[in-house]
Structure 1
Amino acid sequence: MLGLYGVTFIPVSATILKAVSFKSRVSLMPSRGLDFLKSLEGTRKMDLPEVPESVITSQTWWRLIATDNGTFNRKAYTFCVLEQLRIRLRRRDVFVSPSRRWNDPRVQLLQGDAWKSALPHVCRTLDRKKSFHLELSQLREQLNEVYLKTEANFSQNGAVRLEMVDGKEKLVLTRLEKLDTPPSLVSLWSMVKGLLPRVDLPEVLLEIQQKTGFANAFTHLSEETSRVKDLDISICAVLLSEACNIDLEPLSRADIPALTADRLSWVKQNYLRQETIVEANACLVDAQAEISLAQVWGGGEVASADGLRFRVPVSTLNATPNSKYFGTGRGITYYNFTSDQFTGFHSIVIPGTLRDSLFVLEGLLEQQTSLRPTEIMTDTAGYSDVVFGLFWLLGYQFSPRLADIGEARFWRIDGEADYGVLDGLARNPINVDLIEENWDDLLRVSGSLKLGVVSASSLMRTLQGGKNQSTLSKAIAEVGRIAKTKYL
């Protein structure tokens, strides 16, 4: 391969290195290799007396680059440097500026004076320490306390045990048995059902509008103050049509001005928009939060998030293929957020089946109701160490339902701590140095997300690069491992 492509590839690579500006925030191995290759521009020498050897990261490359006469093969070395460049570009440790796809992910965050002025407010709001050493001391104390408390009660819990698997201790949970429905609960269901009056759905919608005034959130597309007589009746009819997936015709009445076909069509075109629906929904959520029964259910501090898959028969940018859920067709995921007061306070349409965790934080940060959830529950699909880290940085408790909890890794900060029966389980050390080196950037990430400078989903698409995670992403994941271990 080197003999076939090397002669052609060397001038091409020289052109790329000359035309594209590669940058990095720290001194990296490819940078020295790139500078060396640039210095060779215009020369034809193929056997090099010396090269920056730190770029050669494996014995395989050494065998290709080092020759028997003590020189270095230029073709092989060029391929080696560019391979390292490719890897670090995907990690965003090296980036191209200007570029939309390959730019530094940190440029999306608060910068310079704007960040300096926002830092005290961000730390105070999110309860984070500006000094990493103070934050680390608190995290170490909290993690030790959780381990010791769990160890003290471990023998009393018959549903959990430790087993040796391939020479390593793993956590094993006993499957929960199905609970039979008691007759008293069946009787309660019947009694409650008997208390509910039989009414038409339009009557319910009109009564709720009368009590809450949610229809006032629907404003005209171009004339916000434009209001016609009985607009609330028209809006309720249009909403009913959309909710029941029926045409406007069954709801139209020629003898009622607010329900004529032309009136309903005009209202749908000019008043029904995403922003007006969001505002109206916030009005309903806030109204239910004031009901005493809803306050018995919860205070709005806990929420759950889950997705529903839908096939989409028409062509749309939001639909993508997934044979598991959509067969040979395309579909979307409707991701809904529900509070502990049983209100849906936010929803997002996700293209196809993108990883749900990309949108969990976005839903919490962008929802516009008076509820302020601090704990969010999701299924396993919404789980990753990076998500745990971002939730912790923003002051949230991430509580996924882990289907593979026995495979989860437990982490420790204090390598000298003795956790008794859990000592073998807590065998994975946290990379404290990596967190410290990136602490200011971690605070900038949380501050930028909290203040709405960048959206969670767009940032996490950059952070989550599979095996090619950036240094910043790895630092967030390390913080997430601490938060995940505390949760487990």
Structure 2
Amino acid sequence: MASIERTAYPQFKRNPVVRELIAAYTPTDDELAFIADNARQPGHRLTLALLLKSFQRLGYFPAIDEVPAAVIRHLRNALRYRIQVKPAEIAPNKRYRYFQRIRAYLQVRAYADGGLDVAARAIHEAAAVMDNPADLINVAIEQLVRDRIELPAFSALDRLARRVRTLVNGRYFALIDKRLTADEKQRLDDLLVVTDARIKSPLQAIKRLPKRSSLQHFQELLDHIAALDELVGSERHLADVPELKRKHFAAEARVLDAAELRDFGPAKRHALLLCLIHRARVQTRDDLAEMFIKRMGNLHNRGKEELERLRARYREKTEAIVATMSDVIQVLDRHPGDTDAGREIRRLVSTRGGVQTLQADCDAIAAHSGDNHLPLLWPFYKSHRATILRMVRMLDLESTTEDRSLIDAIELILSQERARGDWLDEPVDLAFTTQLWRKTITHRTEQGEERIHRRLFEVCVFSSLANELKSGDVAVRGSETYADYREQLLPWEQCEPLLDDYCRQVGLPASAVGFVNALQSKLMQVADLTDQGYLENGQVIIGDDGFPVLKRHKAKDMSSGARALETAILDRLRERSVIEILCDVAHWTRWPRHFGPLSGSDTKIDQPTERYVLTAFTYGCNLGPAQAARHLRGAASAHMLSFVNRRHVDANKLAAACRDIINSYAGLQLPKFWGDGKRAAADGTKYDLYDQNLLASYHIRYGGYGGIAYHHVSDTYVALFSHFIPCGVWEAVYIIDGLLKNTSDIQPDTVHADTQGQSLPVFGLSHLLGIQLMPRIRNWRDYRFFRPDEDSRYEHIDALFREDVDWDLIETHWKDLMQVVLSIKSGKIAASTLLRKLGNYSRKNRLYQAFRALGAAVRTLFLLQYISDRELREQITASTNKVEAYNGFSKYFFFGGEGVIADNDPLEQEKAVKYNDLVANAVIFHNVVEQTRIIKTLMRAGWKITPEDVAALSPYVTSHVKRFGDYLIDVDALPEPYEIELALAA
């Protein structure tokens, strides 16, 4: 049975606060009249009122003894009855009449009146793409509420969801099993056979994770994909099975071992294994492309290092050549006659090594005097050649544009793999490469013919392949990250009906001309206002060189009243351990309800809430199960903690648990003094990793080896969403994903970031999504301002503008831009998937160029506002300071394992960051509850506390939190109810 706690099935709150009672259970005048017309005695009227208001709140009729005492007291007071009046016990026939009259009054149908068919139909449609019973139950609840049908008992929905889910999944299992031959079934079963107790089953080889980027691991990855291709399974076997179902079945198989899979029926076992193999192939192709890109980047880095070594080696010869030239000039100065001067110069050259030696030195210096390291790459590429050629034979590469020059060049290299000559004989289209590469690989003969160097051409082709894989100009069939993004977009025929409604929601014109005109007019208006206000601004100065300079403004000091309040709160905070905080917040928000087996069944562990709290503490504080178990005094074993993490928790469940805390936090009064929730800031912080995984890399900006936790933090201080990303990725790629994947009650429409959180395509996409991107850009004055119109001229700020916005390009590709945006909003493609490709330069991709053109206009609009609005600059600084403070606050609780994420599995790395967010948000929530309690106590003691004093506070307080020692847990200890309201004197 699915846990009711993990569904949206309405239930009474155990301790509803006064505000909730007033909002949900106070009868209106019409309802009081209805109650009076249908019941006579006070007890019966109270019973009828309880049934009416409970039904409005829950959608079904509860038993009277299930109604909380607080609700009974509130309704009794609303009916103006004395305390002696109790709800009357009514006979079944009268209860049935009450039910009928309430349904008629509220215009709601009984579940027996067609509700079963409605719920079954909704679950059946959802089961094609969903699998968790709790999700299916939520779909049924939503549809029943929409159709104004009474909800049945939870057990009825649970049975229905399981029955339909079993039916739908059983059809998929039978469909797949029918396509398998007897031999294929046996080969799948052989994957679960362990012939030697000391050797792992073949199943574990399918789950193999990629290691760090190296030539040996590159070769091992090719061996792995070759082994996967030899296993059973093809697209034919999984045809008609939705990709979301494939992912869920694969995820279920991934956390099971061979013995557990053998316990399943043959059809289900075979289906799960096939989906696991399918997903392993997809992921390995992605990993292979990623490792190839990293290896090519490594070759270029080694080439640049070699260039620097050669420059250092020839520096002494350069100085000698310069000294020789200086002596030659002096000879010419002393000897005005050509004969004497020539004789003296020849003698001088002879003493310096002779003509041939000096010429050789000059040639060597000339060869390495520029910044071109490309001629030096061949010796480093040579060791990779066989591996890379094997890779391009195994991967099915395709061009995503009409330009096939790179694909043709790869085919030429493969056809001439064993050729030995230095030069290519066939003509080659070099349209795919850069001018510097063309200069490097081509050589003009004395007869004026142009020849291409075979070896350097090969290096050039695969360097270009790495770049075009990143930009999306070349795709890998059968992959996910490097697939053709065009196939993931909604067809325009499906976008067109959605266009008008979407444009109305985000406030954009619904036509290309209207869109361009509106944006151009706004840019011209802001430019005019900036120009007119330049002299009064006083904060920005534009020099003769056209570069603006902003004067620094002093930060506001905290007032004496705010400092006194902060000190008073710190002195009164009650000491708490992290586990106690997690338990308290679990009671208040019920966040552990989202954890449970991936199959969706009810928990099969004793004391689930206690286990979930301890697991969140173990992984959120990075202790690891072994170390945590040693300090828990037998409360949980290392195996139990590891089992719960592996089998009951995934990234989505952690995000849902965080959402519960955020939603409860949004209802508190104190955070509203810090922000309105309409702004968020994004920033990354590095976490150390072991190096045996593909995600980890060195990043000079963060000064270390690891990955980046990229946080989105509300202006109310709570963390809304986090990603775990590689160090080398431009962080702006994920800035929009964090807002779109945030499903909490706090929904910001403005996002701040630092320089890494913006780029021209990101500005363009944010504008189309109705998101205001307002970053704090380092060296912003070096960015180009784009003129709104080529004829526009300004008295004071004209020197800022370097280029014109390409409005024609935006208008031409407006439909393509809107197709991308509607595909993102519908969930067909992630914003990060698209921005990862649009974040890399592409001369071929006109969509990339259109997004850059749009971003140029939007970023110029922002920069003009930035230099002319001091208050905006202060808001941006304040918001980015909050996310930077959150980075340190969350790491304070990541104290175990020396702060190193020890797992090499990318899924577990992502979970580690989300666990840490869960712990950090729980402490933030608990701190705000405590601060609210203390402020109210101080006010009752006579303190005069102003909103300005409270606005200077922060929930990032750690002085009262105990991190170390023996960890004890008591989930049965109920915390006192927390207070929401906080009324301050104006």
TM-score (norm: length of structure 2): 0.40
Q: Secondary structure at the match of 1:476?
A: helix
Deviation string for 1:46-94 (max 9, x for gaps)?
Answer: 999xxx9x99x99x99xx999999xx96968xx99xx99x989949797
Residue type at the aligned position of 1:164: D
Runs of 4+ in 1 over 4 A off after TM superposition: 19-25, 28-31, 64-69, 72-76, 86-89, 91-105, 178-182, 258-266
The 1:73–1:191 alpha-carbon spacing in structure 2 relative to 1, beyond 3 Å, is same
Counterpart for residue 585 of structure 2:
208
CA contact (8 A) 1:171 1:405 kept: no
CA apart distance, 1:106: 2.8
Residue type matched to 1:111 in 2? P
Greater CA deviation, 373-382 or 140-149? 140-149
Match runs of 1:122-271 below 5 Å:
122-165=502-545, 169-177=546-554, 180-226=557-603, 230-246=607-623, 247-250=627-630, 252-254=632-634, 259=636, 264-271=641-648
Q: What amino acid does structure 2 have at the position aligned with 1:408? A: Y
Secondary structure, aligned partner of 2:815: helix
Give 2:693's aligned amino acid.
T
The structural deviation recorded for 1:396 is 0.4
Gaps of 5+ in 2: 1-392, 410-424, 864-986
* Letter of the structure 1 residue corresponding to residue 653 of structure 2: T
1:303 touches 1:373 (CA, 8 Å); kept in 2? yes
* Secondary structure of the corresponding residue to residue 310 of structure 1: strand
Q: Match for 1:277 among 642, 651, 654?
A: 654
Residue in 2 aligned with 1:381?
756
Whether contact under 8 Å (1:303, 1:338) holds in the other structure is: yes
1:429 corresponding residue in structure 2: 804
Q: Distance in 2 between matches of 1:324 and 1:472?
A: 30
- Provide the residue aligned with 1:12 in structure 2: none
Q: Distance in 1 between matches of 2:727 and 2:573?
A: 39
SS in structure 2 at match of 1:400: coil
Q: Distance in 2 between matches of 1:394 and 1:97?
A: 28
Structure 1 residues 131 and 323 mapped into 2: Cα distance closer, same or farther (>3 Å)?
A: closer
State how far apart, in whole Å, the 1-side matches of 2:744 and 2:475 are.
40
Amino acid across the alignment from 2:859: K
Alignment of 1:294-313 (within 5 A): 294-313=671-690
Pair 1:331–1:211, CA change in 2 (3 A) = same
Of 754, 771, 775, which residue of structure 2 is paired with 1:400? 775
**Structure 1 residue 372, shift from structure 2 partner:** 1.7
* Distance (Å, rounded) in 1 between the aligned partners of 2:464 and 2:621: 51
Whether the aligned pair in 2 keeps the contact of 1:333 and 1:353 (CA below 8 Å) is no
Q: In the alignment, is residue 481 of structure 1 matched against residue 853 of structure 2?
A: no
**Shift in alpha-carbon separation, 1:402–1:233, aligned structure 2, 3 A:** same
Q: Do the aligned partners of 1:358 and 1:457 also contact (CA within 8 Å) in 2?
A: yes
**Equivalent residue for 1:109?**
489
Q: 1:415 to 1:193 in 2, by over 3 A?
A: same
Higher strand share: 1
One-letter amino acid of the counterpart of residue 455, structure 1: A
Give the drift of 1:284: 0.5
Which structure: greater helix fraction? 2
Shift of 1:192: 2.2
Which has the larger displacement, 333-342 or 88-97?
A: 88-97
Q: 1:138 corresponds to which letter in structure 2?
A: A
* Corresponding residue for residue 325 of structure 1: 702
Contact in 2 for aligned 1:463/1:469 (Cα 8 Å): no
Conserved? CA contact 1:377–1:401, under 8 Å: yes
**CA pair 309-468 structure 1, distance change in 2 beyond 3 A:** farther
* SS in structure 2 of the partner of residue 446 of structure 1: helix
Cα offset for 1:341?
1.8
Q: Secondary structure, in 3 states, of the residue corresponding to 2:821?
A: helix
Q: Deviations over 1:394-430 (max 9, x none)?
A: 1101111011122122112222334331223234210
Paired position in structure 2 for 1:38: none
Local SS of the residue matching 1:370: coil
Q: Any conservation in 2 of the 1:233–1:259 contact (CA below 8 Å)?
A: no
Q: Deviation at 1:290?
A: 0.9
Q: Once the two structures are superposed, what CA deviation does each residue of 1:134-161 show, in whole Å capped at 9, x if it has no partner? A: 1111112211221122222221222211
**Which residue identity is paired with 2:533?**
N
Whole-angstrom distance in 2 between the partners of 1:206 and 1:67: 79
* Aligned with residue 391 of structure 1, among 753, 762, 766: 766
> What CA distance in whole angstroms lies between the structure 1 residues aligned with 2:426 and 2:570?
87
- Distance in 2, Cα, partners of 1:156 & 1:315: 58
- 8 A contact 1:358–1:461 mirrored in 2: yes
Give aligned-pair identity as a percent.
24
Letter in 1 for 2:828: V
Higher relative contact order (CA 8 A, sep 6+): 1
Aligned to 1:345, what secondary structure does the other structure show? strand
2-side partners of 1:268 and 1:103: how far apart?
Answer: 31
8 Å CA contact retained: 1:320, 1:332: yes
2:510 maps to a residue whose letter is K
Q: SS of 1:298's equivalent?
A: coil
Query: Which amino acid counterpart does residue 616 of structure 2 have in structure 1?
Result: L
The 3 A distance-change label for structure 1 pair 325 and 200 is: closer
Mapped partners of 1:371, 1:262: distance in 2: 37
Tell me the residue number matched to 2:818. 443
Q: Does 227-236 or 378-387 show the bigger shift?
A: 227-236
Distance 2:612 2:735 in 1: 31
Report deviation, 1:326. Answer: 4.7
Distance 2:524 2:450 in 1: 53
Give me the whole-angstrom Cα distance separating, in 1, the residues matched to 2:640 and 2:698.
Answer: 39
The yes-or-no answer on 1:288 pairing with 2:665 is yes
User: For residue 711 of structure 2, what is the aligned residue in structure 1?
Assistant: 336
Is the CA contact 1:215–1:232 (under 8 Å) kept in the aligned structure 2?
A: yes
Normalised by the size of structure 1, how large is the TM-score?
0.77
2:855 aligned counterpart, secondary structure: helix
1:475: Cα distance to partner? 0.8
Q: CA separation in 2, counterparts of 1:353 and 1:21?
A: 25
Residue type at the aligned position of 2:787: R
RMSD: 4.2
Counterpart of 1:411 in structure 2 is 786
* C-alpha distance in 2 between matches for 1:160 and 1:240: 49
> Structure 1 residue 369 and structure 2 residue 744: aligned?
yes
Deviations 1:310-346 (A, max 9, x none): 221352232112355355xx31111111111211111
Q: Is the 8 A contact 1:311 1:326 kept in 2?
A: no
Structure number, greater radius of gyration: 2
Shift of 1:227: 5.9
User: 2:23 aligns to what?
Assistant: none
CA distance in 1, matches of 2:552, 2:450: 61
Return the alpha-carbon distance in structure 2 between the equivalents of residues 221 and 97 of structure 1.
Answer: 31
Matched position secondary structure for 2:525: helix
Offset of residue 187 of structure 1? 2.0
CA distance in 1, matches of 2:582, 2:832: 34
Structure 2: distance between partners of 1:97 and 1:264: 39
The answer as to whether partners of 1:253 and 1:260 remain within 8 angstroms in 2 is no
Query: Is the CA contact (8 Å cut-off) linking 2:611 and 2:636 kept in structure 1?
Result: yes
